[in-house]
Amino acid sequence: MIKLMRVDHRLLHGQVAFTWTQSLGVDSILIANDDVMKDEIRKTTIKLAKPQGVKLVIKSIEDSIKALQSGVTDNYKLFIIVETIKDAVALASAYPEIKQINLGGTKPIKEGKQISKTICATKEDLDSLKKLSTSGVKIEIRQIPSDTPINPFT
């Protein structure tokens, strides 16, 4: 069961590893990211941030989609973390069981628009998120679980 998918350019770090994991009651974290798969140093750093007692899996976007679709993740209380809005849209579009996307933090980008203190998105990102939103995926901006969720489209 997917508890949440979060967009966070830092991927797994203290706030995510402990606050979100505990709040969601997850037993498994999936880091879905193509670049991390090619970078052993980043992979090692992410593994060091893993909370004790929680399974950590790092896969490419394509392999993450295959794993979700195969049902291999069905027995876990799963927290998916991606680095970009584009990656979140790819996963949610390929796997409709993803019902919620939390926007936690993105890197500032030249062609992007700052939609909150921590979220910068391109027009394409926003259009894709809006399309997911109209199909029933809840989109929220929220740093920590105790923050009030903000709908970026209201």
Active site residues: 13
For residues 8 and 82, give the distance between their C-alpha atoms in angstroms, rounded to a whole number.
Answer: 6
Q: Which two tokens stand for residue 115?
A: 């939609």
For residues 105 and 108, give the distance between their C-alpha atoms in angstroms, rounded to a whole number.
Answer: 9
Q: Which two tokens stand for residue 148?
A: 């009030």
Q: What element of type H or E holds 29?
A: strand 28-32
**56 three-state secondary structure:** strand
Q: Partners of 7 in the beta sheet?
A: 82, 103
Q: Which two tokens stand for residue 95?
A: 């796997």
